[in-house]
């Protein structure tokens, strides 16, 4: 069980880093859209991370 949780956390972090790295490589014309997309995706990852932590805490009780 600990291994599965560890893998989920690692995959989430790698996904976040990959999204930021790929999103930063946009055309000059698309910089504004890219920045807003990265911002939205980052918020999704943050909220998902919080939800996972809360769900895990509830599961442990």
- Residues 31-58: tens digit of each pLDDT: 666 677 888 889 999 999 999 999 999 9
User: Which pLDDT score, from 0 to 100, does residue 39 have?
Assistant: 85
Q: 33 CB contacts (<8 Å, ≥6 apart)?
A: 26
Domain residue spans of the chain: 2-24+31-60
Enumerate long-range contacts of 4-12, CB under 8 Å, 24 or more apart.
5/56, 8/52, 12/45, 12/48, 12/49, 12/52
């Amino acid at each position: 069980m600990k291994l599965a949780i560890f893998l989920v956390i690692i995959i989430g972090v790698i996904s976040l880093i990959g999204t930021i790295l790929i999103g930063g490589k946009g055309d000059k014309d698309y910089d504004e859209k890219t920045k807003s997309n990265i911002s939205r995706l980052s918020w999704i990852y943050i909220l998902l991370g919080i939800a996972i932590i809360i769900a895990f805490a509830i599961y442990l009780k």
